[in-house]
Amino acid sequence: MLYSLYEAGFYAAAPLRAAALAARDFWSSPLNPARDSEAARRIYAGADLFVNLTRRYGRPAWGIHEVQIDGKPVRVSEETAWSTPWVKLKHFARDPDDLRQAGRSEPEPAVLIVAPLSGHYATLLRGTVQTFLQDHEVYVTDWENARNVPIVEGRFDLHDYIDHIRQMLRAIGPRPHVVAVCQPGPPTLAAAALMAEDAEPSRPASMTFMGSPIDARLSPTVTNKLAEEKPFAWFESNVIYTVPAPYAGVGRRVYPGFVQLAAFMSMNLERHQEAHLQYLQHLMRGDGDSADKHLDFYDEYLSVLDLTEEFYLQTIDQVFQRYLLPKGELEHRGRLVRPELIRDIGLLTVEGENDDISGIGQTQAAHALCAGLPEELKEDYVQPHVGHYGVFNGRRFREEIYPRVRAFIGRTQPAFDKQRRSA
C-alpha cells in the first residue's frame, strides 16, 4: 500500500512541479530583462529547489569516456561482458592504441569491483572505477532495480548473489582480482571460499574488502544496532512492499529504495537540511559552481533502487542478526562455506577510522576467518580521518588507499602470471 501511495504522491505533485519548472525557466531566461534582479534570483532558487526535491531520480549514467594514464589521455568504452536479468557485468575497456601511446603495452591485471546492492546504483563507485582504470582492466557489477525485473524471472536471494559473483569471475577469466565495497564483503568471501575449495581456475588471485561487515558483531554502529534491536518479524512487516503498476516488476515484493533513502537521510537529517539551505543561498547569490557541486552529489545520492524481499531479509537475518559467516555456520546450497580452506588468494582489508556504517574490526575479521592463508598474502590497513564513503572514493582514497591496493594487487599478480605461463 505504501508503494502505491508514494507513486500517487509523485503524480499528484505533477501540476505543482510543472508550474515550478515554468517559473524556473521564465526567471532564468536570458530574454527576461529582470533575470539578474534579487527578486528573480529568489523566485528561481525556490522553484529550482522544489523541482529537485520532487522529481524522479533515475539510474545515473557512468559517463566514463576517457582516463588519464601517465599524463596521456586513453579512451574508454563501456561494454557489457556478461549479464542476467539481475545484473550487467560492465567492462570499461581501454583503447589498446592509446594504451601503447601511454607506454602500457603489457596486459594489466583484471579487477572485478563488486558494487554494493544496498540501495544505491553501482555508479556511486564511478570515482573508484576511474581510479582503478589507471592500472587495471576494470569490471564492475551494475545491479538492476528489482522493480524493473518481471516476476516471471523468479527470485533473487543472497545465495543467488554468491552464485552471480562466481559466474562473473569465471566470465572474466583465470585468476582475476576482486574488490568488494561494503555490503558485498560476506557473499564475496563466501564465493571465493567455495571456488578455492573446488580449485577453480577462475578463483581470485586476490580479494580486497573495503568497509565490509564481515563480522557485524564488532564495533557495532547505529546501522548494526538497528538490525539487532528489531526482531526479524519487524523487518518482514514494516519495510517490505509490493511493486505497483506500471513497473515491469509489478507484483514483486521488495524493500523499496525510497524507504531505504528515508532511513539514510534520517541518520543525518540536519546535515541534509543544511546542505539544501546552502544550495538555495548559492542560487540566490548566483554562485553556480557551488550549486553544481550540490547537484552532482545529490543526483547520485537520491538515485536509489529496490531490493528483492528475499535478498534483503536474508541479509538482515544471516549477516546482521545470526552472523553465520564469522561463526562458521553459513551454508550455501546445502554446503558449508569454509574460508579457512583458502590457501592462495591474497587478502587485503581496508577500513576507515571514522566509518559509521562498518565499524573498525568488522572488515579485519576476514583475516581470522582465512586462517589457512600464509601471512605474506595478508595485509590490513586503516585509513585515518575518513568515514565510510572515504574508504572507496575521494582524495584520500586516490592518494593514500588506492596506491596500497594497487601495490597489493601487483604483489600477488606475478606468481600467478608465472603459473599461467608454465601451465
pLDDT tens sequence across 302-320? 899 999 999 999 999 999 9
How do the domains of the chain map onto residue ranges? Answer: 2-56+257-301, 66-230+307-422
Which residues partner with 190 through β-bridges?
Answer: none
- What is the C-alpha separation between 18 and 407, in angstroms, rounded? 52
- What is the C-alpha separation between 287 and 292, in angstroms, rounded? 9
**Any long-range contacts for 322-330 (C-beta under 8 Å, 24+ apart)?**
323/215, 323/216, 323/217, 325/186, 325/189, 325/190, 325/214, 325/215, 325/369, 326/214, 326/215, 326/217, 326/365, 326/369, 330/186, 330/190
- What is the C-alpha separation between 381 and 210, in angstroms, rounded? 10
66-230+307-422 has which fold? Answer: Rossmann fold (3.40.50)
Q: What is the pLDDT of residues 164-215, one digit of tens each?
A: 999 999 999 999 999 999 999 999 999 999 999 999 999 999 999 999 999 9
Q: Which of 79-83, 224-228, 412-416 has the highest mean pLDDT?
A: 79-83
- In this predicted structure, what is the pLDDT of residue 414? 65
- What is the C-alpha separation between 200 and 164, in angstroms, rounded? 15
Backbone phi and psi for residue 183, each to the nearest 5 degrees, phi listed first: -50, -40
Q: E strand or H helix at 174, and its extent? A: none
3-state SS string for 187-248: HHHHHHHHHHHCCCCCCCCEEEEECCCCCCCCCCCHHHHHHHHCCHHHHHHHCCEECCCCCC
Lowest mean pLDDT among 16-25, 51-60, 301-310: 51-60
- In this predicted structure, what is the pLDDT of residue 417? 54
Rounded to a whole number, what is the largest CA-CA distance in the chain?
Answer: 75
Q: What is the pLDDT of residues 82-125, one digit of tens each?
A: 999 999 999 999 999 999 999 998 889 999 999 999 889 999 99
Nearest alpha carbon to residue 366 among 164, 218, 235: 218
- In this predicted structure, what is the pLDDT of residue 373? 96
Other CB atoms closer than 10 Å to residue 16's CB: what's the count? Answer: 12
Alpha-carbon distances of 397 from 66, 125, 138, 189, 320, rounded to whole Å: 20, 12, 17, 22, 27
Position 422 pLDDT exceeds 50: no
Burial class of residue 170 in the structure, from the number of CB atoms within 10 Å of its CB (0-12 exposed, 13-18 middle, 19+ buried):
middle
The rounded percent of the chain whose pLDDT value lies above 90 is 72
Query: How many residues appear in the chain?
Result: 423
> For residues 369-394, b (16+ Cβ closer than 10 Å) or e, as one string?
bbeebeeebebebbbeebebbbbbbe
**Mean of the per-residue pLDDT values for the chain?**
92
Inter-residue contact 196 to 338 (CB < 8 Å): no
Position 283 pLDDT exceeds 50: yes
Alpha-helical runs (H) found in 328-392: 365-369
